[in-house]
Structure 1
Amino acid sequence: MSDKPYYEQEYHAPESDIPDPSVGEIFKGLFLYPFTWAARSTRKAFWVAFVIQFLLTIVIGVISVAVFIPNGVLSVSRNDMSWVLTHIGFGVWLIELILFILLIWIKLGLLGYAVRRLHDANYSGWWLWLIIIPFGWIIVVIFLLLPTVEEPVRWGSYLFVD
């Protein structure tokens, strides 16, 4: 023990086994591990992944609209949609298909993060089904905001832990 009073002693942060993932690891988890359900993700990892997917969704939407602008699609009325189907080239449809698949993959990655985040708070991933009922998403957001349970849970360990 030190002879100094507690308020003059040097601060030592409590030790924790919770990993602190880098943005690169979070990005990797979003794209490479969307179906890894039996694991855990920290609050930081989930919310950074949420922001990344939100920004990527906006970028994909802007690119999707920008692809159609040179073809005059945005000026077509609802009654003339057959014109769109006949005057849009294969390249535009291919770009749109690739962007759609990328968007779905990003959303699946966030779903994987949400399930792992619920596991980190010691809840089952099945709680995500609450988002389909009115105001059930509020309960899910509260669960996603809960702190990490620092004891062993039944769903494995964190991704990227050495």
Structure 2
Amino acid sequence: MTFQESVGSCFRQYATFTGRASRSEFWWFWVFTLLVDVAAFIVSATLIGGSVTAVGGADGMSWFVATQGWLPGLVHLALFLPSLAVAIRRLHDVGRSGWWFLILFVPFGFFVLLFWWVQPSERMANRFGPPPA
């Protein structure tokens, strides 16, 4: 699946938590989300009123903190459901229940999810449906 097909598929299935998502669909949408987040942060920090502020530390060192405007929050809100949906459909593709996503909230749970997300798809139909095209 190409980049454009993956992004289109994820937005067509905006809040669809049933079915399966291929490895390429999941990772291309992840790249899209990262690019949009970075773009929103840059636009917000430079054009819409965000700022970069020097904060003095106790040791005399200065740290620079970038404050964001409202745009990155709006982008996160818009991409939350399709990101969650494709993550759960990806778990379905490797034969796991979508409820396993909740392991993200325990220490090192992200690494378990990452392991499953990089696994190849099950070749045959499973309880979540036929393999993705």
Give the TM-score normalised by structure 2: 0.77
Equivalent-residue separation in structure 2 for 1:124 and 1:112 (angstroms):
12
- Does residue 111 of structure 1 match 2:91? no
Q: May I ask how many residue pairs the two structures share in their alignment?
A: 119
Task: Tell me, yes or no, if the aligned pair for 1:34 and 1:108 is still in contact at 8 Å.
Answer: yes
By relative contact order (CA 8 Å, sep 6+), the higher-ranking structure is 1
Q: Which has the higher strand share?
A: 2
Task: Tell me, yes or no, if the aligned pair for 1:38 and 1:155 is still in contact at 8 Å.
Answer: yes
Q: Which runs of 4+ in 1 moved over 2 A?
A: 29-32, 98-103, 156-159
Alignment of 1:53-68 (within 5 A): 53-66=33-46, 67-68=48-49
Listed as ranges, the gaps of 5+ residues in structure 2 are: 56-68
Larger radius of gyration: 1
Q: Which has the higher helix share?
A: 1
The sequence identity of aligned pairs, in percent, is: 24
Task: Tell me, yes or no, if the aligned pair for 1:29 and 1:109 is still in contact at 8 Å.
Answer: no
The alignment yields a C-alpha RMSD, in angstroms, of: 2.4
CA apart distance, 1:99? 5.0
- Does residue 41 of structure 1 match 2:44? no
| Partner in structure 2 of residue 81 of structure 1 | none
Listed as ranges, the gaps of 5+ residues in structure 1 are: 1-20, 78-94
Task: Tell me, yes or no, if the aligned pair for 2:6 and 2:24 is still in contact at 8 Å.
Answer: no
